[in-house]
A and B are shown apart, each in its own frame.
Chain A
Amino acid sequence: ETGVTQTPRHLVMGMTNKKSLKCEQHLGHNAMYWYKQSAKKPLELMFVYNFKEQTENNSVPSRFSPECPNSSHLFLHLHTLQPEDSALYLCASSHPDDTGELFFGEGSRLTVL
């Protein structure tokens, strides 16, 4: 499959659970991003990886732990989340020479009970 694929599309978890979101891109890009989209708020940049190295951590709480094993895969590990962390988590990728054009996945809708 081409483009940016995110799994799962929907996730419900309790505050004590550990879960992970996965993102995969087949566009040949080297930069990958996690954004958080909460209701009535702008998209918030969380993390950026370029060639597997983290280049941005936008003061994200440690209960969110990203992992980028290679340029095609990006994970967001979730642990002891709070109900206010419920949101749509969007993954994106870009070519490092054109970081303005982001290619987004469809998102993972997370609900924390």
Chain B
Amino acid sequence: AQRVTQPEKLLSVFKGAPVELKCNYSYSGSPELFWYVQYSRQRLQLLLRHISRESIKGFTADLNKGETSFHLKKPFAQEEDSAMYYCALSTGGFKTIFGAGTRLFVKA
């Protein structure tokens, strides 16, 4: 079965500390993975996708097919990074499956 797991509901770090939001997926085909973010009082929006392999707002994510993971990382967290982060898996066609989300709280 296709599944996206985000094991942490809440992650709290201090400003300037590294942050890693974990995501594991279950899918037998060739996955396309994404991170979406929802800032306070804003709508859910795409942060980055694995095929673009680019850094957005200092965040990067590498697809590890061996470990079926797509963890989101940032070396130095900022207060404005506080938000809800969702990992998502596209299985082709129009089906995108989301994880339950991780709330990141960056403390001053």
Contact = CB atoms under 8 A, between A and B. Distances in A.
Interface centre among B46, B95, B96, B97 (most CB of A within 10 A): B96
Interface centre among B32, B34, B95 (most CB of A within 10 A): B95
A110 B95 CA distance: 24
Interface stretch (B13-21, B57-65, B67-75, B86-94): B86-94
Interface string A29-46: 001010100001111010
B56 interface: no
B83 interface: no
Nearest to A43: B98
A70 to B, nearest CB: 17
Contacts of B34: 100-101
A48 B46 contact: no
A105 interface: yes
A55 interface: yes
B94 A56 contact: yes
Chain A interface extent, by class? 20 to 34
A88 to B, nearest CB: 10
A40 B102 CA distance: 11
A105 B43 CA distance: 6
A14 B46 CA distance: 35
Interface centre among A43, A50, A56, A103 (most CB of B within 10 A): A43
Chain B contact residues, majority secondary structure: strand
A104 B45 contact: yes
A75 to B, nearest CB: 18
Given A99-B90, A100-B49, A106 B96 contact: no
A45 B93 CA distance: 13
In order of increasing CB-CB distance, the 6 nearest A-B pairs are: A43-B98, A48-B94, A104-B44, A42-B100, A100-B90, A42-B98
Interface of A: 4, 31, 33, 35, 40-43, 45, 48, 50, 55-56, 90, 94, 99-107
10 contacts: A31-B94, A35-B98, A40-B100, A45-B95, A48-B95, A99-B96, A100-B49, A104-B45, A105-B43, A106-B43
